[in-house]
Amino acid sequence: MIDLRAWLPDTPLAQWLLLVGAVATLNGLQNLVNPAFSRRVYASKVGEKEASGLAARLFGIWNLTSAMVRLYAAYHMHEYGAYMLCLGTFVIAQVHFVSEMLFFGTLALAPGSISPIVVSTCSAAAMIAQYQHYIA
| pLDDT score for 33 | 94
Q: Look at the alpha carbons of 33, 36, 40, 43 in this order and tell me if their dihedral is positive or negative.
A: positive
- pLDDT the model gives residue 59: 92
pLDDT value of position 62? 96
pLDDT of residue 86: 99
pLDDT at 67: 99
**Cβ 71 vs Cβ 89: under 8 Å:** no
CA angle 61–122–53, rounded 5-degree value? 25
Task: Compute mean pLDDT per 10 residues along the chain, 136 residues long, and list them.
Answer: 86 98 97 83 75 89 98 98 99 95 87 90 98 95
- Domain residues of the chain, as ranges? 11-134
pLDDT for res 107: 83
User: How high is the pLDDT of residue 88?
Assistant: 99
pLDDT of residue 51: 78
Q: What is the per-residue pLDDT for 1?
A: 78
SS percent in the chain: helix, strand, coil, step 5: 80, 0, 20
Give this prediction's pTM: 0.91
Q: Which long-range contacts (CB under 8 A, 24 or more apart) does 130-133 make?
A: 130/13, 131/83
Q: Which residues contact 94 (CB under 8 A, 6 or more apart)?
A: 117, 120, 121, 124
